[in-house]
A and B are shown apart, each in its own frame.
Chain A
Amino acid sequence: MLEVSNLRKRFGGVAASDGVSLEVREGEVHALIGPNGAGKTTLIAQLSGSIAADDGRISFLGNDVTRLEQHSRVKAGLARSFQVTSIFRGFSVLDNLALAVQARSGSSLSFWRPVAAERALFDEARAIAADVGLGERIDTPAARLAHGEQRALELGLALATRPRLVLLDEPTAGMGPEESRRMIDLVERLRGRLTVLLVEHDMDAVFRLADRISVLVAGRVIATGTPQEIRRNAEVRRAYLGEAA
């Protein structure tokens, strides 16, 4: 579904992506792990299109999207969530999600007809709010949500674009154990509905959720495999798991 070959990105003297190759298969939950500074978020940014790769190729659903702008990739079914929560803080939960539904459903070059008349937009937004556990909070301004709720809205915004593949950049970032568990349940429920590429630091979550895992170290994927294979991989243990566990 997503094929990344030999992706390179340098920031000054630092190679954040030093020839990353990766394949995400349709329907799987694919975890991307690696130590801090391995280039995970930079990779997500290149895959989503918010920063341009210096070299290499990204292919999504058989099409070369390497040079495609981010909003076009979203239209093609490739959406992301952010590690640092990025929501429309001044808008209510419902308006946040309705904005995302609006972006997907037809052109927004409509200058006269009030959005309030488009019931389908808000009905769908309500359904997504319920889906991510914010059904009771739809009228709350996003800025006033608790951290865990904001993370759920973050995920909801990505889901509202109806992606085929969603890139989740540390969905449990900054969460307590209870909130984390709820978020992991949420991600678990996505299995089968869409394909997930998940960046995550919580190893319990990774080994519970992932069908396959890729390990990114210093801008390169050093191993890809099932959770069992990754656990047994000597190089991974030396480079990462050994020091984390």
Chain B
Amino acid sequence: MRIAFLILFAVALPIVLNSTDQAFYLSFASRILIYALAATSLNLVLGYGGMVSFGHAAFVGTGAYVASIAYVEGLASAWIGWPLAVAAAALAALVIGALSLRTRGVYFIMITLAFAQMMYYLVNSMKAYGGDEGLTLPARADIGFGLDLGDDVTFYYAALCFLALAIFSLHRLANARFGRALLAIRENEARAEAIGYPVQRYKLVAFVIAGAAAGLAGALLASHGKYVNPNILHWTQSGTLLVMVILGGVGRLWGGVLGAAALLGLEHLMAEHRIGWLAALLPDYQQHASLGVGLVLLAVVLFAPQGIAGLFSRQRHA
């Protein structure tokens, strides 16, 4: 029932925004959808697999750069550029995952961060593709079928389709054999291995699937803004995705979506709407928007450890 309402809301949003002359928000909504996709992919790793990856931006960035480079090299079709982006991000996740998953706990956090930073400096030094200035695309990817992604409404629906597909796939995966095995590994790795699950291999598979989905989010993000720069791989981006997942609900199907919407929405509100009484108290509070976000995150961790998704669910995890 709630999902039907959510779908109705998402599908009707462009119509509502257009008829109320708020079309600017449509692009913002697309951005939320893309970040929701990226955060959902991280949730597979973090929430379902129990792997605290602090380098997820590496895969978003790989997807964004590969799609953008494909575009400027003449492969304007989304049907070529985006699968390339997904494949490259999956490959990056395979290599980084295979090396990182030998470690545990805080070492895993640090090594995924280190790999992501290496990729960050790598794209910074790619002078042929803009280096630290980034790469501007003449237009959004070409999707064919008489549809133009350059149109914000079309792009919004494309992003919505991908996100819906991702959520549905995650739902299926979580209830399939693989998802159950993954949850068992998250719960008790030693026991999972001792009943015969190849723990390392399954964690790597989850890591690669998540990397591939993050690559798609990256390709969408680059197309959406018609621009990509190395900051998309910066460690703060990985941190932002982690915050989204924690805010929305770790290991919750809708955690990534709720977290992305909440965080981006909050940031937007802080930046665009000056709160009178707060401004009277702290004139430049808007320059410190991340402080407000931090306070909200703190409140969620303390009072709603299951995230926003946990507030909606009737049954709590033990």
Contacts and interface: CB of A to CB of B under 8 A. Distances in A.
A156 to B, nearest CB: 11
Interface string A59-91: 000000000011110110001101000111111
A134 to B, nearest CB: 16
Contact of A99 (B172, B178, B184): B184
Contacts of B198: 69, 71-72
B1 interface: no
Given A50-B194, A74-B196, A108-B197, A88 B184 contact: yes
Nearest to B181: A108
B194 A89 contact: no
B176 A103 contact: no
Interface string A108-140: 111111111010000000000000000000000
A168 B178 CA distance: 28
A117 B268 CA distance: 44
A112 B194 contact: no
A113 B177 contact: yes
A242 to B, nearest CB: 35
Contacts of A111: 169, 172-173, 176, 178-179
B176 A143 contact: no
A24 interface: no
B191 interface: yes
A19 interface: no
Contact of B197 (A50, A71, A91): A71
A103 B187 contact: no
Contacts of A109: 177-178, 202, 205
Contacts of A108: 177-178, 180-181, 197, 202
B173 A79 contact: no
Contact of A70 (B178, B194, B202): B194
A48 interface: yes
B196 A75 contact: yes
A90 B176 contact: no
Contact of A79 (B176, B195, B197): B195
Contacts of A143: 318
A70 B205 CA distance: 19
A117 B193 CA distance: 24
B181 A99 contact: yes
B18 interface: no
Contacts of A112: 172-173, 176
B190 interface: yes
Contacts of A74: 194-196
Nearest to B180: A115
A25 interface: no
Q: How large is the interface on A (under 10, 10 to 19, 20 to 34, 35 or more residues)?
A: 35 or more
A158 to B, nearest CB: 8
A72 B178 CA distance: 18
Interface in B175-216: 175-181, 184, 187-188, 190-199, 202, 205
A160 interface: yes
Given A71-B197, A103-B197, A88 B176 contact: no
B288 interface: no
B167 to A, nearest CB: 14
A182 interface: no
Interface string B226-241: 0000000000000000
A115 B175 contact: yes
Given A111-B173, A112-B172, A91 B196 contact: no
A69 B177 CA distance: 22
A79 B195 CA distance: 7
Contacts of B177: 102, 107-110, 113, 115, 118
B252 to A, nearest CB: 14
A71 B199 contact: yes
22 contacts: A69-B198, A71-B193, A71-B199, A74-B196, A79-B196, A82-B190, A82-B191, A86-B190, A86-B194, A89-B187, A90-B187, A99-B181, A99-B192, A102-B180, A108-B181, A110-B177, A111-B169, A111-B178, A112-B176, A157-B194, A157-B195, A158-B195
| Smallest CB-CB A-B distances: 7 pairs | A74-B196, A103-B196, A110-B177, A100-B195, A108-B177, A108-B181, A86-B191
Given A99-B192, A111-B169, A113-B176, 13 more contacts: A50-B194, A71-B197, A74-B195, A91-B187, A99-B180, A99-B181, A108-B181, A110-B178, A111-B173, A111-B176, A112-B176, A113-B177, A143-B318
